Amino acid sequence: MISAAQRRVAVICAAVACILILVGSAAASPAVNAKVAELNTKGVEHYRAKQWDAAIAAFREAYRLDPDRAAISANLSNALQAKADVLYEASDVASAAAHLEEAIRITPDAPRLHLHLGACYLRMDRVADAIRHIEEAVEREPGVPEAHDLLGQAYYRDGDAASALAQWEWVIEVKPDRPGLAERIEKARREADVEATYNRRDSRHFRVSYAPGTSYSDMRRALTILERAYTEVGRRFGGVYPPGPIQVRVYTADDFSRVTLLGEHVGALYDGAIRLPLSDRTGQVLDEAELKRRLYHEYTHVVVRHIVGDDVPWWLNEGLAETVSTELMPPDVERLEQAYRSDAAFSIAELQEHQLLRLPPESLQIAYLQAHAAVRHLHARYGQTRLNQFLTALGNGTAHDAALRQAYRRTYAQLDDELRKQYAPGRRRR
């Protein structure tokens, strides 16, 4: 059960200062014209000094006095966009979106605003809203590769690989070197091939595509577990409920490997969609307990990503998913003790990155157990609230080690020492 990190969508369009010369409006009195001009001059000064809030305040007041003047609208819109860029960079995506929404109300025809707002909504998992605004941007200004790429990403997140491919295949013709695009196209093609004959079923928060031949009762079982996970896991993380529909693919064992190119030791994964085979290669359907374990594990990734975004340490993401979905059993503890005693254990810092997927199954298993043990340790000692604070700090863009220090007053090395003490007492750091 593996979560591949998706690249963070970064569409930051630098706002261009559009400072126009003011011509007195015929409709307004000379006193109002003078006041508007004064506010605008003040706003421009703040804007040049990159004091976005002060610039916005001045332009807003000028706009309130005279909403019909194009120069004031443009200046206010630019200041709002500049502030939105700063907020987006600082991972405060919801506030960035609020600034862009205001800018669009004032200057609704600017395609870049719609594109930028679409990127924010995509990051907030508001996929339908993202599509609406990115489509608007593309309609108003077609032929911008970044916009078509982002539109493809939004379609893909919406479970529509065919429409995503149409956008991406155009982009790769004009920008063959666009990072990661060729891989995304290849993956989407595999999915489109395998899933062409799949059926669809929706529940309140999930949209499931499933292999033909999947029984009605198996599907109902999976959806009931998912809806329960939505409530329970969301509550556990302090009331986190991502807007739906959350994409789910239910495969046969063969289709799962064809789409993911992963071996049988991988039981499910989340890469923006929850993907799992409902049966093994012999056609044996997963029993209730195993199905629940896998779906709770993957759904935890959905929640973690909604809080943090894509830059979440691997060990934390997997450790949380394991802690929510299963227990550390005595054989697991034995395995951990053995790993720590024989120096086969990783340092937790080594388990931050997401390239672990390709480890041999044996090492991957140790990595999962360590991730589970580390999160369990933090959870047992400091509780869920502190874990939520850790996630929030990461979501605000704090670096992994700084967030760990902030939430737990610990370095990675100290966390390693504590785990080693638990599982191999008396053994020194390697």
- Closest CB 268 distance from Zn ion, rounded Å: 8
Burial 324-334 (b: 16+ CB within 10 A, else e): bbbeeeeebee
Which of 107, 109, 103, 106 lies closest to 117 in space, CA to CA? 103
CA distances from 286 to 219, 276, 277, 281 (A): 12, 11, 9, 11
Order the strands of the 199-202 sheet from edge to edge. 2-3, 269-270, 274-277, 246-251, 206-210, 199-202
Closer to Zn ion by Cβ: residue 170 or 346: 346
Kindly write down the DSSP assignment for every residue of 100-157, as one continuous string: HHHHHHHSTT-HHHHHHHHHHHHHTT-HHHHHHHHHHHHHHSTT-HHHHHHHHHHHHH
CA 338/CA 203 separation, integer angstroms? 44
3-state DSSP call for residue 84?
A: helix
Q: Are residues 227 and 247 in contact, defined by beta-carbon separation less than 8 angstroms?
A: no
Closer to Zn ion by Cβ: residue 1 or 407: 1
* Site of interaction with Zn ion (CB under 5 A): 1, 3, 318, 321
Closer to Zn ion by Cβ: residue 4 or 18: 4
- Closest CB 1 distance from Zn ion, rounded Å: 4
Closer to Zn ion by Cβ: residue 301 or 400: 301
Q: Are residues 238 and 232 in contact, defined by beta-carbon separation less than 8 angstroms?
A: no
Closer to Zn ion by Cβ: residue 155 or 315: 315
**Cα four-point dihedral sign 122, 128, 130, 134:** positive
Q: Which residue is nearest to Zn ion (CB)?
A: 1
Q: Are residues 282 and 254 in contact, defined by beta-carbon separation less than 8 angstroms?
A: no
3-state DSSP call for residue 176?
A: coil
Closer to Zn ion by Cβ: residue 116 or 400: 400
Closer to Zn ion by Cβ: residue 1 or 171: 1
- Closest CB 3 distance from Zn ion, rounded Å: 5
- Closest CB 88 distance from Zn ion, rounded Å: 28
CA 183/CA 177 separation, integer angstroms? 11
- Closest CB 297 distance from Zn ion, rounded Å: 6
Which of 420, 405, 427, 412 lies closest to 353 in space, CA to CA? 412
- Closest CB 361 distance from Zn ion, rounded Å: 15
- Closest CB 133 distance from Zn ion, rounded Å: 31
Closer to Zn ion by Cβ: residue 321 or 394: 321
Closer to Zn ion by Cβ: residue 26 or 329: 329
Q: Are residues 291 and 221 in contact, defined by beta-carbon separation less than 8 angstroms?
A: yes
- Closest CB 296 distance from Zn ion, rounded Å: 11
Cis-peptide, bond into residue 245, ω within 30° of zero: yes
Residue 210 pairs in a beta bridge with 199, 250
- Closest CB 299 distance from Zn ion, rounded Å: 10
